[in-house]
A = this chain, B = another copy of it.
């Protein structure tokens, strides 16, 4: 199950770049990037978008990983987590359906 952090670390290591370089591009301290890659911090949306551009991968792929990480983080300690996700899916389907028609 790869989290966004794992993905970023892999991309960075493939190119043999130090944290410093990528962190500079994101305009944050390398300490934060280190934590993001290991899952101790969540990046903000803008950083995810920048990373997709930087590593030339599909922005949507990273956004899905980022969003799902956030969702999991928010509910993982709850017994009803899975049930809640299923209900959330229905709600999202309902919302998008009624958004298209006016």
Which residues from chain A sit less than 8 Å from chain B, CB to CB?
Answer: 1, 3, 60, 63-65, 67-72, 74-76, 78-96
Of all A-B residue pairs in the complex, the 5 with the closest CB atoms, nearest first, are: A67-B84, A68-B87, A68-B88, A71-B88, A68-B84
Assuming the A-B contacts A84-B68, A85-B89, are A76 and B95 also in contact, with contact meaning beta carbons closer than 8 angstroms in the complex?
yes
Give the oligomeric copy count: 2
For residue A92, which residues in chain B have a CB less than 8 angstroms away from its CB?
72, 75-76, 81-82, 85
For residue A72, which residues in chain B have a CB less than 8 angstroms away from its CB?
88, 91-92, 95
Assuming the A-B contacts A86-B89, A89-B86, A94-B1, are A63 and B75 also in contact, with contact meaning beta carbons closer than 8 angstroms in the complex?
no
Smallest Cβ-Cβ distance to A61: which chain B residue: B80
